[in-house]
Amino acid sequence: MKKLLVAFIIALFIFSLVNASSLKKPEWRKGDFWKYEMETIGGKNKSIISTTIIGKEDVTINNITYHCIVSKNNFSGEIRVQYLDEESLAIVKEIIYNNGAKEKIYNPLSSLIQYPVFIGKKWETNTDWKNTTITIFFECIGKKDITTKAGKFSCYVIRANYSFNGTISPYFYQVIYVSGRAGNIVRVEYYGNMEGNETLVEYIELVSFRYSAGIKHDNLIIYGIVIGGIIISLLALYKQLGVKKKLL
């Protein structure tokens, strides 16, 4: 009986640790949206960035069919419709609407956040900027609670370093905060290295959102708290049974 009780306690404890130690891929659905403000330190104006999930669509490229989540992104009036591989959330293609429509195919696929995210995980991706290929190196460096206009979030913290022409830039890096409850990034900080001083020069912050699977995430947190209570109760019971046996 005691062995069974101990095994049950260990199983519950391991289950709670596994669920708390990584950030799983979000479950985006039609109608979910995230609205951000971007502000340059010392600047007077704020830019609005928004992302809305508008549906799903299959995309075939080079005889490979991807089941995609389709998002509509608005950055200060420029519209980008992105097709994201449902499995990895990497960009398969995007259509940019700015004085006409321009289609861009990503080969290989490009992903900013590679799930699951956990402390110590490293990955990289390539992107094009002004006819130059840039490699971005990511590393999850910890967890932190972040408060934005959209609320307070428990986040995984990711640092992004940029490599131009094979050399990591010592002058610029990003810190990205990702939340399971929001199902997306809640804050991005841009730092510049000015004469050896790391200075925050710009940031993007979540101001409102709708993430339908976030309710499920909150329920998991409550479930984790309940599991923790059960573990403590069972440990107390196990100790009590041991004391009673000694008395007998």
Q: What is the pTM of this model?
A: 0.78
Which token pair is 46? 């704020």
**Domain residue ranges of the chain, discontinuous segments joined by +:** 27-48+118-212
pLDDT at 64: 95
* Residue 110 half-sphere exposure toward CB, CA atoms < 13 A: 16
* Residue 133 half-sphere exposure toward CB, CA atoms < 13 A: 8
Say which residue the tokens 């196990």 belong to.
238
Give the whole-angstrom CA distance, residue 171 versus residue 164: 11
Which token pair is 57? 């669509």
CA distances from 226 to 222, 229, 230, 240 (A): 6, 5, 6, 21
The predicted-structure confidence for 196-228, as pLDDT tens digits, reads as follows 778 999 999 999 999 999 855 444 443 344 444
Residue 238: what are its φ and ψ, rounded to 5°? -60, -45
The predicted-structure confidence for 40-88, as pLDDT tens digits, reads as follows 988 888 899 999 999 999 999 999 999 999 999 998 889 999 999 999 9
Give the whole-angstrom CA distance, residue 217 versus residue 224: 11
Residue pair 227/16 in contact (Cβ under 8 Å)? The answer is yes
